[in-house]
Copies of this chain bind each other. A is one copy, B any other.
Amino acid sequence: MPELRHSDELRYWRKVVRAAALCHDLGHLPFSHAGEKEGLLPDGWNHERLTVEFIRSQEMRDIWQELTPPLRTDDIAKLAVGAKEGAKFIDSAFSDWEAILAEIIVGDAFGADRMDYLLRDSHHTGVAYGRFDLYRLIDTLRILPPAPEETEIQSSEPTLGVEEGGLHSVEALLLARYAMFSQVYFHRVRRIYDIHLREFLKRWLPGGQFSISVEDMLKLTDVEVMHALRQASLESNDLGVLPNRIIRRQHFRELYQRNPDDISEGIDAATAIHRAACEEFGSENVRLDQDSKGGGIVEFPVLGRDGRIVSSVSLSQILENLPEAAIDYVFVDPNIQDSAREWLKENRKDIIESAKEQSHESIE
């Protein structure tokens, strides 16, 4: 990799990595990920694409030019969003070098973005998990050739990996992520608040969508949305109901959550219960929420103490089969909470049974 051997190159890219890391989250909408779903952004847009818009805005281009040495705008844009997302809306291809540097920021296994939000959220929510040995992990990061057993499935170009001594820190980071999703991000009240917020935004935003103009986005922060929620909550019209789901905690209540017995039956019980509940109580009184994070394989090269390079997967059962955090919730209006629970008790068995039959029929 020629970039590694030239001091000027190293100094230039060091600055680019810093600028890109600082800009990585610029494109987030108010209340972060909640606004990226269900048509609140035009098709083909997400926070990564908005981040690139910000980085390429004239105001920021001027900043990049004034630095010494000046930084190329698209170098920053590429590193800030990484190869996977960047390929969708940045024309020039990623070199191997750029792909490695982007991994430092957005990588699944040890991206700075992930390390940062886990430690910060863990600290500020006050939970006893989400921790890992940040310093050891960073100390052991290395640019490595791929492990021999991986060579078939990927390029033979170097990539980001760790020394053997840092492997357990990576495991701890990924288990911390699993714990934070299971316990915090996927908590049922946090999830229903996201749903209620999206419902409000759909009513409140002009045309039911966020503007993707940089100028408009700068004017629309958490403060404006909170203010709109509070103003709307004072009104007596039907818009006033939505904010109070959040402000006065009149949020929908859990009717059903993912249950292993139902999962072992091989059917999607949440969807079946949601459909039956909509028929019984009207769809305006019922919400379905399904999501999952993690799971699968996390593969990267590891440099052994004996100098051999092996795949992370061959050294770690955890990285070979990461646990998945998954949720299936059905929520109902608090006013019908009791009757809905009574109804589910009586009808659960039938709903599951009929879902099974339908699933068999559809297979046949």
Contact with A230, one of B183, B221, B315 (Cβ below 8 angstroms)? B221
Within 8 A of B (CB), among A91-130: 123-124, 126-129
Say whether A224 faces chain B, with CB atoms less than 8 Å apart: yes
Say whether A358 faces chain B, with CB atoms less than 8 Å apart: no
Say whether A261 faces chain B, with CB atoms less than 8 Å apart: yes
Shortest beta-carbon distance, A308 to chain B, in Å? 7
- Cα of A127 to Cα of B324 in the assembled complex, Å: 26
Shortest beta-carbon distance, A173 to chain B, in Å? 11
Instruction: Give every chain B residue within 8 A of A264 (Cβ-Cβ).
Output: 314
Instruction: Give every chain B residue within 8 A of A263 (Cβ-Cβ).
Output: 314
Instruction: Give every chain B residue within 8 A of A126 (Cβ-Cβ).
Output: 123
Say whether A37 faces chain B, with CB atoms less than 8 Å apart: no
Contact with A259, one of B123, B219, B224, B304 (Cβ below 8 angstroms)? B304
Q: Could you say how many copies of this chain the assembly holds?
A: 4
- Cα of A169 to Cα of B179 in the assembled complex, Å: 9
Judge whether B230 and A223 touch: CB under 8 Å: yes
Judge whether A314 and B131 touch: CB under 8 Å: no
If A179-B168, A260-B315, A314-B264 touch, whether A223 touches B227 (CB-CB below 8 Å) is yes
- Chain A: interface residue count, which band? 35 or more
Q: Which residues of A contact B (CB under 8 A)?
A: 123-124, 126-129, 131-133, 136, 149, 168-169, 171-172, 175, 179, 182-183, 219, 221, 223-224, 226-227, 230, 234, 257, 259-261, 263-264, 304-306, 308, 310-311, 314-318, 321, 323-324
- Cα of A126 to Cα of B120 in the assembled complex, Å: 10
Shortest beta-carbon distance, A50 to chain B, in Å? 20
Instruction: Give every chain B residue within 8 A of A175 (Cβ-Cβ).
Output: 175
Judge whether B314 and A257 touch: CB under 8 Å: no
Shortest beta-carbon distance, A188 to chain B, in Å? 9
- Cα of A226 to Cα of B223 in the assembled complex, Å: 7
Instruction: Give every chain B residue within 8 A of A168 (Cβ-Cβ).
Output: 129, 179, 182-183
Judge whether A317 and B324 touch: CB under 8 Å: yes
Judge whether A224 and B219 touch: CB under 8 Å: no
Instruction: Give every chain B residue within 8 A of A315 (Cβ-Cβ).
Output: 260
Instruction: Give every chain B residue within 8 A of A314 (Cβ-Cβ).
Output: 260-261, 263-264
Instruction: Give every chain B residue within 8 A of A182 (Cβ-Cβ).
Output: 168
Instruction: Give every chain B residue within 8 A of A321 (Cβ-Cβ).
Output: 317, 321
Contact with A257, one of B124, B179, B227, B306 (Cβ below 8 angstroms)? B306
Judge whether A308 and B227 touch: CB under 8 Å: no
Instruction: Give every chain B residue within 8 A of A128 (Cβ-Cβ).
Output: 131-133, 136, 169, 172
Shortest beta-carbon distance, A191 to chain B, in Å? 15
Q: What 10 new A-B contacts, CB under 8 Å, besides A128-B136, A219-B230, A260-B310?
A: A123-B123, A127-B133, A128-B133, A128-B172, A129-B132, A149-B261, A171-B179, A175-B175, A259-B306, A259-B308
In the complex, residue of chain B having the shortest beta-carbon distance to the beta carbon of A305 = B257
Instruction: Give every chain B residue within 8 A of A223 (Cβ-Cβ).
Output: 223, 226-227, 230
Judge whether B129 and A133 touch: CB under 8 Å: yes
In the complex, residue of chain B having the shortest beta-carbon distance to the beta carbon of A136 = B128
Instruction: Give every chain B residue within 8 A of A260 (Cβ-Cβ).
Output: 310-311, 314-315
Judge whether A316 and B323 touch: CB under 8 Å: yes
- Cα of A234 to Cα of B308 in the assembled complex, Å: 41
- Cα of A260 to Cα of B319 in the assembled complex, Å: 14
Judge whether A172 and B133 touch: CB under 8 Å: no
Judge whether B172 and A129 touch: CB under 8 Å: yes
